[in-house]
């Protein structure tokens, strides 16, 4: 009964980036009951972070935007109708007595699987924190690392710290909603899209470059003011503020996967030539996987490593079968799906 309610999959792929999506397609070609679990509420892994940029190094495709590549990958991944679960960050992994893996997400949902493919990239993206001693005290209340909604800043005096795309985008968006917006950036030039910087300069946003947010002053309840150091003059100024939005970028973190007992070096899971990790039945591929000769940070690498891992997972599930790589040409199900006779 329990199994019917929570079926056990042949392979569960952690991560819905390019590697995980292509591996899901390949696992479908191998007739494996497949589940993909993605922490974000959308698929694509890193691709949505540069959706408008063109990629020119995807084999056989002259040029494609990251957004269109995501669409193509998702369509292909869905060919064999895998189960796709979004907004679930897998945290714990247990091996049950019968060898099945039990994965649990941050929501408490349990996923049963015979094999696991970790295609988690560098992990999920965690905001770079503000390096000030009392910053934590205001976190989530008056100090934010992402803006959940514009409304929370309505009629507030907002300080944005950062100089990249997201800092500038938020400054533009909040200019007409907040009582005041000040953007503080430690460099003399913004690193954001030129057009957006120009747009921001045409709003009421107060811009402070070559400046650093160096102190927060308030009580248990709220922030009253901040101090800002101006590098050119050496002066320190004080600004009355209600809310702080920190946009210092994000860094990837493997999170709880680090504690599964996998061999991990410099944030990467060590695999052998078959993408097998140090735990039998768990495989890794794509940006997260490390082995001698690895070409890091390349989508094409994940397109090779994913199928290699899936082939090995299939061999793990059927140790007495002679598992050979397969082609899509002549694949009966694919021919039927695409109306080929
Ligand atoms: C600006 C930029 C430009 C780039 N340009 C190119 C290019 O031109 N050509 C190229 O080949 N490569 C390029 N890359 C690199 C390419 O994007 C990566 O190599 C590729 O995205 C790696 O795919 P992946 O599936 O292995 O990992 P990712 O794309 O990182 O996907 C991993 C997914 O796993 C999810 N995840 C992590 N942990 C968990 C968990 N515990 N539970 C559930 N889900 C989890 C993450 O949310 C993420 O969605 C570029 C990268 C950047 C940032």
SS (H, E, C) the chain: CHHHHCCEEEEEEECCCHHHHHHHHHHHHCCCCEEEECCCCCCCCCHHHHCCCEECCECCECCEEHHHHHHHHHHHHHHHCCEEECCCCEEEEEECCCCCEEEEECCCCEEEEEEEEECCCCCEEEECCCCCCCHHHHECCCEECCCCCCHHHCCCEEEEECCCHHHHHHHHHHHCCCCEEEEECCCCCCCCCHHHHHHHHCCCCEEECCEEEEEEEECCCCEEEEEEEECCCCCEEEEECCEEEECCCEEEECHHHHHCCCCEECCEEECCCCCECCCCCEEECHHHEECCCCCCCCHHHHHHHHHHHHHHHHHHHCCCCCCCCCCCCCCHHHHHHCCCC
Residue to mutate, 12, 13, 15, 35, ligand 1, most ligand atoms under 8 Å from C-beta = 15
Q: Is 14 in the pocket of ligand 1 (CB under 6 A)?
A: yes
- 5 CA to middle of ligand 1, Å? 32
> Domains in the chain, start-ordered, CATH in brackets?
2-125+251-337 (3.50.50.60), 129-248 (3.50.50.60)
Tens-digit pLDDT profile for residues 259-286: 999 999 999 999 999 999 999 999 999 9
Per-residue model confidence (pLDDT) at position 147: 78
46 marked among binding-site residues: yes
- Point out the ligand 1 atom lying closest to the alpha carbon of residue 57: 9
pLDDT at 2: 45
pLDDT tens-digit profile, the chain (341 residues): 444 478 999 999 999 999 999 999 999 999 999 999 999 999 999 998 888 889 999 999 999 999 999 999 999 999 999 999 999 999 999 999 999 999 999 999 999 999 999 999 989 888 899 999 999 999 989 999 987 788 999 999 999 999 998 899 899 999 999 999 999 999 999 999 899 999 999 999 999 999 999 999 999 889 999 999 999 999 999 999 999 999 998 888 999 999 999 999 999 999 999 999 999 999 999 999 999 999 999 999 999 999 999 999 999 999 988 888 899 999 999 999 999 98
Instruction: Check residue 1 and give its pLDDT.
Output: 40
121 lines ligand 1 (CB under 6 A): yes
Our mutation pick for probing the ligand 1 site, out of 299, 302, 306, counting the most ligand atoms within 8 A of Cβ, is 299
Which protein residue has the closest C-alpha to ligand 1 atom 1? 50
The pLDDT score that the predictor gives to residue 220 is 84
């Amino acid at each position: 009964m329990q199994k019917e309610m929570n079926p056990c999959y042949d392979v569960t792929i952690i991560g819905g980036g390019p590697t995980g999506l292509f591996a899901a397609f390949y696992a479908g070609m191998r007739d494996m009951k497949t589940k993909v679990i993605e922490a974000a509420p959308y698929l694509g892994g890193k691709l949505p972070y540069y959706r408008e940029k063109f990629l020119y190094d995807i084999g056989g495709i002259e040029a494609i935007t990251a957004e269109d590549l995501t669409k193509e990958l998702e369509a292909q991944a869905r060919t064999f109708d895998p189960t796709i679960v979004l907004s679930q960050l897998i945290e714990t992994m247990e091996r049950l007595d019968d060898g099945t893996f039990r994965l649990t997400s941050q929501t408490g949902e349990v996923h049963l699987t015979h094999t696991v493919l970790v295609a988690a990239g560098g992990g999920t993206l965690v905001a770079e924190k503000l390096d000030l001693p009392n910053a934590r005290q205001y976190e989530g209340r008056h100090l934010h690392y992402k803006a959940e909604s514009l409304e929370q800043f309505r009629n507030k005096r907002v300080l944005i710290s950062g100089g990249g795309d997201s800092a500038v985008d938020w400054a533009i968006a909040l200019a007409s909603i907040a009582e005041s917006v000040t953007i503080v950036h430690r460099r003399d030039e913004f690193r954001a899209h030129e057009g957006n910087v120009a747009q921001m300069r045409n709003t009421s946003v107060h811009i402070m470059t070559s400046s650093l947010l160096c102190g927060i002053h308030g009580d248990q309840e709220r922030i009253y003011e901040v101090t800002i150091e101006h590098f050119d003059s050496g002066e320190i100024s004080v600004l009355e503020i209600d809310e702080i939005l920190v946009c210092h970028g994000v860094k990837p973190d493997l999170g709880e996967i680090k504690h599964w007992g996998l061999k991990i070096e410099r944030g990467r899971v060590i695999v052998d030539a078959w993408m097998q990790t140090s735990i039998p039945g768990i495989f890794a591929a794509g940006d997260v996987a490390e082995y001698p000769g690895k070409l890091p940070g390349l989508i094409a690498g994940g397109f090779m490593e994913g199928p290699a891992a899936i082939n090995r997972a299939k061999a793990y599930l059927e140790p007495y079968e002679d598992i050979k790589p397969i082609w899509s040409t002549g694949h009966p199900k694919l021919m039927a799906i695409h109306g080929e006779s």
